[in-house]
A and B are shown apart, each in its own frame.
Chain A
Amino acid sequence: AQSVTQLGSHVSVSEGALVLLRCNYSSSVPPYLFWYVQYPNQGLQLLLKYTSAATLVKGINGFEAEFKKSETSFHLTKPSAHMSDAAEYFCAVSGLQGAQKLVFGQGTRLTINP
C-alpha cells in the first residue's frame, strides 16, 4: 500500500515564481513527515521535517511545508524560485504503524526556467 504520494513527477516554474510540490500521506494516525532534496549524482539531503510540533515547518534554502491533518497533506513551498533549486524532491514518512523505517514517495523533478 502506498503510504506517501507525490502528485506530479515533473514540475516546471519560472525563476522568481512560487514553487509548490505536493505530498499526501495515507494514515489514520499522523506520522512523521520529511522533505528531502537530491541534486544530480548526490545523496539525499534533508530540507525539513514535521514531528508533531508546529504545523508550519521552515527548512533550509527558503523552503517551508505545512502539515494539514484534514487533508492528509504536507506540501512543500518556496515563495520565489531560484535556478539553484532545480533538483529532485522527495517526500518521506516515518512512524507508520509504529515502525521507524523511512519510506519515500516517487519524487518530483523540479525544473526552473530562466
Chain B
Amino acid sequence: DARVTQTPRHKVTEMGQEVTMRCQPILGHNTVFWYRQTMMQGLELLAYFRNRAPLDDSGMPKDRFSAEMPDATLATLKIQPSEPRDSAVYFCASGLGTGGHTEAFFGQGTRLTVV
C-alpha cells in the first residue's frame, strides 16, 4: 500500500535549534507539497516541487525556512533557527501532476513544538 512517509511524527525542540523534517513521497509521483497547519491559519502551502525543482516557495519564510529535494525519494524541510511561532503540524504530500492539476496524497504529518 503506497503512502507518503514523514519523519519524525513528533518533535519537541528548544527555541534557536535547527529542525529537519523528512518526507518520502510515493514512488513515481513527480510533485511534492509542504503544508503547515495551525488552528489560526489553517492549511498554508509553504512550497512545492515538480520533478525535484522548486516551483513556488512564496509561502515560506525565507530567512529561516528551507526546502529541498536531494533526490526523488526524499524531500526535506528545515527551520533554522526555530521559534515558538513555528509550532504547528507540518504535512508533506505527493502527487502526479497531470492534465493541469495535481491530486495530492498526504503523509501523517510532523507535529513540531518549539519551547
Residue of chain A at shortest CB distance from B47: A101
When distances are taken between beta carbons in the complex, the residues of chain B under 8 Å from A104 are 35, 42-43, 45
- A101–B91 touching, CB < 8 Å: no
- B101–A90 touching, CB < 8 Å: no
Provide the bound-state CA to CA distance between A24 and B64, in Å.
34
When distances are taken between beta carbons in the complex, the residues of chain B under 8 Å from A95 are 100-101
Contacting B101 at CB < 8 Å: which of A46, A100, A106?
Answer: A100
Q: Which of B72-97 contact A (CB under 8 A)?
A: 91, 93, 95, 97
Residue of chain A at shortest CB distance from B109: A43
A44-B42 contact, Cβ under 8 Å, with A99-B56, A101-B33: no
B-to-A contact residues, CB < 8 Å: 4, 31, 33, 35, 42-43, 45, 48, 50, 55-56, 91, 93, 95, 97, 99-109
29 contacts between A and B (CB under 8 A): A32-B100, A42-B108, A43-B106, A43-B107, A43-B108, A43-B109, A44-B91, A44-B93, A44-B104, A44-B106, A46-B103, A49-B103, A51-B101, A94-B101, A94-B102, A98-B100, A99-B55, A99-B56, A100-B31, A101-B45, A101-B48, A102-B48, A102-B95, A102-B104, A104-B35, A104-B42, A104-B45, A105-B42, A106-B42
